[in-house]
Amino acid sequence: MRVITGLAKGRRLETLEGEDVRPTTERIKEAVFSIIQFETEGRSFLDLFAGSGQMGIEALSRGAESAFFVDNSKRSLDVVKRNLKAVGLEQNAKTFAMDFRSFLVMNTQKFNIAFLDPPYRTGALHQALEIVPKAMKETGVIIAENPIDEKILSNYGNFTLDREYRYGKIRISTFRHKDCIQ
């Protein structure tokens, strides 16, 4: 797994091994950053189920102002910290070893971009989509990765489904504030 472009282009990232970990594929990562290519620079990025932190690190590499990495696994957050240090982007990053619900309840930051890729078929995506809109700027975008057979709603709070993209058995959905959809 490597950083695709920007300040840390080509730098290799560490990931955890095992069945509990399912990193976003390079193809999906590239697709996500194509979707938000003009919305990343100078913005705040939330990597809610961070894993290795590759999505937030990619955002920082592409000029995001800040990235928050949240994961309930201390082992995952240790990998995120090592990856941030290895690519030299730790100064604009904050890590939180906690459950996504706990983070969103205590959080006061408003984000421009939120990337959600929780463990599949656990209900965590739907639960996160219910509360993430409160942490978003009105002009922000929520990006959800899930298997195509996992159902999600088209509206969460004031955020509504904008677009869906299919990549094999994976779906990427973008949600935007209802007043910002063209």
According to the model, what pLDDT value does residue 182 have?
Answer: 67
Would you say 48 and 119 are in contact if contact means Cβ atoms under 8 Å apart?
Answer: no
According to the model, what pLDDT value does residue 21 have?
Answer: 60
Q: How many CA atoms lie within 13 A of 52 on its CB side?
A: 23
pTM of the model: 0.94
Task: Tell me the CATH number for domain 41-180.
Answer: 3.40.50.150
For residue 20, what are the CA distances in angstroms to 4, 73, 88, 119? 24, 10, 27, 8
d(CA 117, CA 29): 11
Q: With 70 as the cut, is the pLDDT of residue 9 above it? A: yes
Amino acid residing at 29: K
Considering only residues 73 and 24, tell me which one the structure prediction assigns the higher pLDDT. Answer: 73
Question: What is the per-residue pLDDT across 78-122, written as a single tens digit (0 to 9) for each?
Answer: 999 999 999 999 999 999 999 999 999 999 999 999 999 998 888
Q: Delimit the domains of the chain by residue range.
A: 41-180
Query: What is the torsional sign of CA 92, 60, 20, 14?
Result: negative
pLDDT grade, residue 140 (50/70/90)? very high
Q: With 60 as the cut, is the pLDDT of residue 46 above it? A: yes
pLDDT grade, residue 4 (50/70/90)? confident
According to the model, what pLDDT value does residue 20 have?
Answer: 56
Question: In this structure, what token pair is assigned to residue 61?
Answer: 């590499």
User: Mean per-residue pLDDT for 22-51?
Assistant: 91
